[in-house]
């Protein structure tokens, strides 16, 4: 039997250095001797080879740095046991998806349904774990039968169902793989059989380093190697236990000592030797040495020195990473350390890597992330998923444009292609193109003007070029019925799309390496699917699900692209090569110690039940928690010179985080060590710490601007920031200095137009609508953006409130005109007749709304029926109104200032120009009374509205009064007689539901409906107008207009009425106000000054908020405060102002 030597010692005692030196010496003395095998974890192989090569100083052939699986492959290649193909992990994922598709009716937990997100990955991981721990089908079947026999509660029943489904998966996958494929876990099993026949191992010396524990499968393979070779194995620990020693699971070195004890139990006849290294040599500071020595000692032993260890508490994770980056940048800049001697370690890489990816490049720090990368964030994965989804879902907008926005289908000038894509996307959104419309040339005949400006390529040609490969794939998939056909179609698609060429054209070396690995894994996935499925029948849906499962499992890792770079590593899985400085980030509760998650195939309780039934599995949550202290110990003892330990007080969503339970033990061992609080802003630190914010010109610029802004606000700042400002000015950094000055002087003010610019923009005759002037009163910049710059929101093919408004207005106009052509009074029509006319009107108008959108889905068809009900109900209520009033419609959709309508309302402006008011009035009603002819305005609204006099005063609601002014001014042209104001009312178009506790009679229902359709607004107090508005009213409240009559016949206090004189004041005030707005427009007012009235601000629904960037933190950005006032107060002000205007 061969001898095995355990080399033991605490962290930093020189175990790795010892065997590396021994190997180098052996290679120098005997370069062509028997093989030397250095077996390390997979993620440690590259670094180990690099370290040996640096020490040796020349190439070698005798040494083989291998992981356990790679050693097994090497033995199989030598002995001829590698005839079967190794299936990829992605291949296993696709196979599980295929098994579910074929057998889902046999499953218990997910029978006939859909698998939850993450299930494939969880199942694959558990199958892998079961192989590693020798939990084969027979043993699993025994456990399942035992549970079935015992019965039990819901927990046991659920475990039975999971094991049943797992057995299905295991049997089907093993059957599919049998004789053709092996899994990665099978390599060690096959490798174990190849150890004895191997000549390669004869005389070989084997070194083992970097391991802390082994799975049963790894242990079996390794002990078999130990029977054939001389082995020296390094383990972190203080002793080698004999076979009889009981090991305390709470001991710091339990995991490594347990591994050594299990090896000895497996090899009872082997001679074991121990080489213990008692002296710890790594640490250059007493504090680090003290931490290593006393970490597991209880009670804690305080140490006096703290140099070499720092504790940071950051406001959030981003701040934590920023301070880390600044410290690295400063130390390297001063020449105190190299990037390659620094490691950033965290246990929560998913949370910290996004910040590292943005902050480190900004600080010009080269770094390498030492972990496998999932391909689901790569554009290629999105490209393939979107392609299959586009075909499966009939070419929907989102899938097609996710596919196009990967850029893989572009050709020629990439910038030009992106511009074309933006234009085409707007075109598609506006016209609602999807499905077969993508393939019809008739849908691409109308060429956007923006596209014509780019080049002369027709839009139909662009679409063919971009979607040609996808159409070909669709036809191929539709014609496929076997796995081979599907795989071939997909491979051809990647070729037709130019993916290989695009991959090779990567702009950076790192991206090129990523692309190469991803392409290799993709081809391997297709090959595995082809070999596994072959001529087997398959549906397109199942194939797409298999591809998606495979893509979700795709991972790739790259070799560090440079030697001088910071290594970012996972605290648990990465193996670092003696860094001098370590930043240990994210030392928070739930991370150190790690809180076990319930995200595996089996829950923790289910794992315990399996173990109780005799199955061996990986360590459960309680066992993992016992080992957490060792994981943290390893992290503490990595650096030789400096250790920074930090944690965040909140996560990226602002949720509170707590520091790790290990922070207090740290402070107990180093009581003089103070916690430094880190903030995102330099202003929150003293001047010494502020100097660390000065790193590179671009990065420092923002902090300099922020601090000088603080000074502008009255706070004192260190001279450091003035020195930084001077540096930008004196060192020729003109662009950065200009940016700095602009940021300091920036007020977010819109420059006013000159009179000349205003004249060029608006012309000699300012054509304006009421809504435009209301928009100016809401915020002048909003008017300028919409009507001056003519900015528009992207048009999208969907039904929105304005479209419904158009339908309502057009339908009510047609119903009214139909009634007028029939020469019958409105009150003579029955409910059935008005409903029929409403339906005819809506059906005629609907095709004109958003390109006949109501025919595009059952949902829209249903919505149209509900809108028809609204018009029908409103038409009938108008008929009911007609029975109770003397007003009759004399104008529907009456325009002024437009062709075929009334003349515009012209207003001279002080600069000699004119403002021409134009618009369309929904409805004009007339009544002839003993006091003369009166006109009123009816405006249809799909929501409840009322007239507020203070809104009129502030110019926020001018429409109704301007419209009333127009019809009164041109009443002779309209009617042939002069008329007075009757009022202005809103008619609410809706189909209300009545909620009553008792059953109502038909008459009561109609009366309640009338109340729901009661018009709101403002009426004349002239008795004849009130009588004409509701001739059924003698006293009390009207059911159709906002009037309350006293018994004397006078209008009550709750009536919304004003006198003819006040109507005249209102008309005069509004005209003056319109002229004032016109003058300001021509003077070039573009100020960003939105109003605030109580909690009402226009910014909430403004389309141009992203353009104006209104921010109340700027002194120049303040709201115009409008004080709500009562109707009496407003009328008094209007009377006074009108009187003053007449006086002048």
**Segment 610-659, tens digit of pLDDT:** 888 888 888 877 777 788 889 899 999 999 999 999 999 999 898 999 99
As a whole number, the mean pLDDT across the chain is 88
For the ranges 66-75, 589-598, 879-888, 1013-1022, the lowest mean pLDDT is seen at 589-598
Distance CA 723, CA 883 (A): 83
Question: Is residue 984 pLDDT above 90, yes or no?
Answer: yes
* String of DSSP letters for 1019-1082: EE--HHHHHHH-TT-SSEE-SSSS-EE-TTSSB-TTS-EE-HHHHHHHHHHHHHHHHHHHHHHH
Name the helix (H) or strand (E) containing 964. Answer: helix 959-969
What is the pLDDT confidence band of residue 682, given thresholds at 50, 70 and 90? very high
**CATH class name, domain 286-372+561-680:** alpha beta
> In the 8-state DSSP scheme, what is residue 786?
I
Q: Name the nearest CA neighbour of 568 among 785, 866, 800, 356.
A: 356
pLDDT score recorded for residue 1119: 93
Q: What is the pLDDT of residues 703-730, one digit of tens each?
A: 988 898 888 888 888 999 999 888 888 8
For the ranges 103-112, 933-942, 997-1006, 1063-1072, the lowest mean pLDDT is seen at 997-1006
The terminus-to-terminus CA distance of the chain in angstroms comes to: 120
pLDDT score recorded for residue 1079: 93
Distance CA 565, CA 561 (A): 9
CATH no. for 375-556: 1.10.486
Question: CB under 8 Å, gap of 24 or more: what pairs does 1108-1117 form?
Answer: 1108/748, 1108/750, 1108/779, 1108/781, 1108/782, 1108/785, 1109/748, 1110/748, 1111/748, 1114/746, 1114/747, 1114/748, 1115/747, 1116/747, 1116/748, 1116/749, 1116/1088, 1117/748, 1117/1088
Query: Which residues are within 8 A (CB) of 146 and not within 5 positions of it... i.e. 6 or more apart?
Result: 613
Q: What is the mean pLDDT of residues 1025-1048?
A: 90
pLDDT score recorded for residue 83: 63
Question: Is residue 372 pLDDT above 90, yes or no?
Answer: no
List the helix and strand counts (H, then E) for the chain: 44, 29
The answer to whether residues 570 and 349 touch, using CB atoms and an 8 Å cutoff, is yes
Q: Name the nearest CA neighbour of 590 among 628, 646, 623.
A: 628
Query: How many Cα atoms occupy the beta-carbon half-sphere of 552 within 13 Å?
Result: 17
Q: What is the pLDDT of residues 430-471, one digit of tens each?
A: 888 888 888 888 888 777 788 878 888 888 888 999 999 999
pLDDT score recorded for residue 258: 92
Give the global pTM.
Answer: 0.80
Q: What is the mean pLDDT of residues 1080-1108?
A: 92
* String of DSSP letters for 301-327: ---S--TTEEEEEESSHHHHHHHHHHH
The answer to whether residues 38 and 319 touch, using CB atoms and an 8 Å cutoff, is no
Query: Which residues are within 8 A (CB) of 389 and not within 5 positions of it... i.e. 6 or more apart?
Result: 396, 399, 544
User: Between residues 1077 and 1113, which one has the greater pLDDT?
Assistant: 1077
Q: What is the pLDDT of residues 821-837, one digit of tens each?
A: 887 877 788 888 888 88
Q: Name the nearest CA neighbour of 545 among 654, 389, 353, 407.
A: 389
Q: Do domains 3-84+186-277 and 375-556 have the same CATH topology?
A: no
Task: State residue 1006 phi and psi, 5-degree precision.
Answer: -65, -35
Residue 181, SS3?
A: strand
Query: Which residues are within 8 A (CB) of 237 and not within 5 positions of it... i.e. 6 or more apart?
Result: 8, 9, 10, 253, 256, 257, 260
pLDDT score recorded for residue 598: 64
Q: Name the nearest CA neighbour of 7 among 218, 273, 210.
A: 273
Task: Establish whether the linkage from the previous residue to 299 is cis, with ω within 30° of 0.
Answer: yes
Distance CA 309, CA 833 (A): 89
Q: What is the pLDDT of residues 543-596, one digit of tens each?
A: 888 888 888 888 877 776 667 899 998 888 877 878 999 999 999 998 988 877
Distance CA 872, CA 889 (A): 18
Distance CA 978, CA 969 (A): 8
Dihedral through CA 410, CA 413, CA 417, CA 418, nearest 10?
110
Distance CA 530, CA 543 (A): 11
Count of positions (residues) in the chain? 1144
Distance CA 846, CA 871 (A): 13
Question: Is residue 941 pLDDT above 80, yes or no?
Answer: yes
Q: Name the nearest CA neighbour of 728 among 694, 763, 750, 701.
A: 701
Question: Is residue 12 pLDDT above 70, yes or no?
Answer: yes
pLDDT score recorded for residue 821: 83
pLDDT score recorded for residue 58: 86
User: Between residues 14 and 622, which one has the greater pLDDT?
Assistant: 14
For the ranges 328-342, 614-628, 1104-1118, the lowest mean pLDDT is seen at 614-628
pLDDT score recorded for residue 920: 93
Q: Where are the domains of the chain?
A: 3-84+186-277, 88-178, 286-372+561-680, 375-556, 686-745, 801-1082
What is the pLDDT confidence band of residue 43, given thresholds at 50, 70 and 90? confident
Task: Note the CATH architecture for domain 3-84+186-277.
Answer: 3-Layer(aba) Sandwich (3.40)
pLDDT score recorded for residue 162: 86
The residue behind tokens 């950033």 is 344
pLDDT score recorded for residue 82: 62
């Amino acid at each position: 039997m061969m001898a095995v030597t355990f080399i033991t010692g605490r962290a930093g005692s020189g175990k790795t250095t010892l065997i590396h030196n021994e190997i180098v010496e052996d290679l120098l003395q005997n370069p062509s001797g028997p093989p030397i095998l250095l077996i390390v974890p997979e993620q440690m192989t590259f670094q180990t080879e690099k370290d040996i090569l640096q020490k040796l100083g020349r190439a070698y052939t005798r040494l083989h740095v291998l992981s356990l699986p790679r050693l097994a492959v090497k033995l199989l290649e030598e002995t001829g046991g590698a005839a079967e193909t190794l299936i990829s992990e992605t291949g296993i994922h696709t196979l599980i998806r295929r098994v579910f598709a074929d057998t889902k009716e046999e499953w218990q937990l997910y029978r006939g349904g859909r698998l939850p997100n993450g299930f494939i990955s969880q199942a694959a991981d558990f199958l892998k774990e079961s192989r590693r721990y020798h939990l084969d089908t027979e043993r699993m079947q025994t456990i399942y039968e035992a549970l079935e026999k015992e019965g039990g509660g819901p927990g046991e029943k659920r475990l039975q169902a999971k094991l049943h489904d797992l057995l299905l998966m295991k049997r089907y996958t093993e059957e599919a793989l049998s004789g053709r494929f092996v899994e990665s876990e099978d390599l060690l099993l096959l490798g174990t059989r190849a150890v004895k026949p191997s000549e390669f191992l004869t005389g070989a010396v084997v070194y083992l380093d970097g391991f802390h524990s082994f799975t049963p499968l790894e242990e079996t393979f390794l002990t078999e190697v130990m029977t054939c070779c001389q082995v020296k194995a390094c383990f972190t620990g203080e002793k080698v236990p004999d076979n009889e020693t009981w090991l305390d699971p709470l001991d710091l070195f339990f995991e490594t000592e347990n591994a050594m004890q299990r090896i000895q139990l497996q090899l009872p006849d082997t001679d074991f030797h121990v080489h213990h290294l008692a002296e710890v040599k790594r640490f250059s500071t007493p504090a680090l040495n003290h931490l290593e020595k006393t970490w597991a000692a209880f009670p804690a032993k305080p140490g006096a020195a703290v140099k070499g260890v720092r504790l940071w508490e950051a406001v959030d994770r981003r701040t934590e990473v920023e301070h880390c980056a600044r410290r690295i940048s400063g130390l390297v800049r001063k020449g105190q350390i190299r990037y390659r001697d620094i490691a950033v370690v965290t246990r929560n890489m998913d949370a910290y890597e996004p910040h590292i990816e943005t902050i480190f490049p900004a600080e010009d720090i080269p770094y390498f992330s030492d972990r496998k990368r999932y391909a689901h964030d790569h554009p290629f994965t999105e490209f393939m998923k979107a392609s299959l989804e586009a075909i499966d879902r009939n070419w929907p907008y989102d899938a097609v444009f996710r596919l196009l926005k990967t850029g893989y289908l572009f050709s020629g000038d990439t910038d030009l292609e992106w511009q074309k894509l933006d234009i085409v996307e707007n075109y598609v959104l506006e016209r609602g193109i999807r499905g077969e419309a993508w393939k019809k040339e008739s849908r691409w005949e109308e060429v956007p003007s923006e596209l014509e400006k780019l080049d002369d390529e027709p839009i139909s040609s662009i679409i063919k070029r971009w979607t040609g490969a996808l159409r070909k794939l669709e036809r191929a998939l539709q014609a496929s019925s076997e796995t081979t056909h599907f795989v071939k179609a997909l491979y051809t698609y990647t070729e037709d799309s130019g993916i290989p060429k695009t991959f090779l054209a990567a702009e950076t070396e790192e991206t090129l390496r990523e692309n190469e690995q991803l392409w290799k894994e993709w081809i391997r996935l297709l090959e595995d699917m082809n070999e596994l499925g072959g001529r087997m029948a398959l549906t397109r849906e199942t194939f797409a699900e298999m591809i998606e499962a495979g893509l979700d499992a795709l991972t790739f890792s790259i070799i560090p692209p440079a030697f001088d770079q910071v290594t970012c590593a996972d605290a648990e899985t990465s193996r670092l090569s003696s860094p001098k400085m370590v930043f240990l980030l994210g030392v928070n509760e739930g991370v150190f110690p790690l809180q076990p998650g319930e995200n595996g195939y089996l829950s923790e309780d289910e794992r315990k039940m399996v173990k109780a039934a005799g199955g061996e599995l990986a360590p459960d949550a309680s066992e993992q928690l016992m080992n957490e202290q060792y994981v943290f110990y390893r992290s503490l003892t990595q650096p030789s010179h400096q250790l920074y330990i930090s944690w965040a007080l909140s996560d990226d969503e602002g949720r509170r985080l707590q520091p790790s339970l290990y922070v207090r033990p740290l402070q107990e061992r180093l009581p003089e060590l103070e916690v430094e609080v880190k903030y995102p802003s330099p202003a929150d630190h003293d001047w010494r710490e502020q100097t660390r914010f000065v790193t590179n010109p671009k990065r420092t610029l923002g902090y300099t601007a922020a601090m000088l802004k603080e000074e502008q606000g009255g706070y004192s700042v260190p001279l450091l920031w003035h020195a930084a400002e001077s540096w930008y000015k004196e060192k020729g950094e003109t662009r950065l200095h200009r940016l700095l000055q602009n940021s300091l002087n920036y007020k977010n003010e819109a420059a006013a137009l000159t009179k000349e610019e205003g004249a060029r923009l608006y012309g000699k005759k300012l054509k304006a609508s009421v809504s435009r002037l209301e928009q100016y009163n809401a915020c002048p910049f909003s008017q300028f953006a919409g009507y001056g710059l003519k900015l528009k929101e992207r048009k999208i093919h969907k039904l929105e409130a304005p479209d419904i408004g158009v339908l309502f207005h057009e339908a009510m106009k047609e119903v009214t005109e139909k009634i007028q052509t029939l020469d019958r009074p409105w009150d003579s029509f029955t409910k059935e007749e008005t409903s029929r006319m409403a339906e005819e009107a809506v059906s005629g108008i609907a095709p004109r709304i958003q390109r006949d959108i109501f025919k595009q889905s059952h949902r829209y068809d249903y919505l149209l029926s509900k809108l028809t009900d609204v018009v029908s109900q409103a038409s009938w209520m108008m008929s009911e109104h007609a029975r109770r009033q003397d007003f009759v419609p004399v104008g529907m959709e009456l325009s002024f200032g437009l062709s075929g309508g009334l003349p515009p309302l012209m207003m001279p402006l002080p600069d000699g120009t004119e403002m021409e008011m134009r618009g369309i009035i929904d409805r004009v009603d007339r009544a002839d009374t003993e006091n003369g002819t009166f006109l009123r305005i009816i405006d249809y609204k799909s929501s409840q509205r009322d007239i507020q006099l203070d809104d009129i005063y502030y110019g926020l609601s001018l429409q109704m009064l301007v419209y009333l002014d127009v019809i009164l001014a041109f009443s002779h042209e309209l009617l042939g007689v002069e008329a007075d104001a009757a009022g202005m009312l809103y008619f609410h178009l809706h189909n209300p539901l009545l909620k009553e506790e008792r059953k109502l009679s038909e008459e009561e229902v109609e009366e309640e409906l009338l109340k729901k359709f009661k018009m709101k607004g403002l009426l004349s107090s002239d008795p004849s107008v009130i009588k004409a508005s509701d001739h059924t009213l003698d006293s009390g409240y009207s059911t159709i207009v906002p009037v309350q009559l006293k018994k004397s016949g006078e209008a009550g206090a709750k009536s919304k009425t004003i006198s003819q004189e006040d109507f005249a004041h209102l008309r005069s005030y509004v005209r003056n106000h319109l002229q004032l707005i016109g003058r300001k427009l021509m003077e070039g007012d573009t100020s960003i000054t939105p109003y605030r009235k109580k909690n009402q601000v226009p910014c909430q629904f403004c389309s141009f908020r992203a353009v104006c960037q209104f921010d109340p933190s700027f002194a120049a950005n303040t709201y115009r405060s409008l004080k709500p006032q009562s109707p009496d107060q407003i009328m008094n002000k209007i009377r006074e102002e009108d009187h003053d205007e007449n006086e002048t």
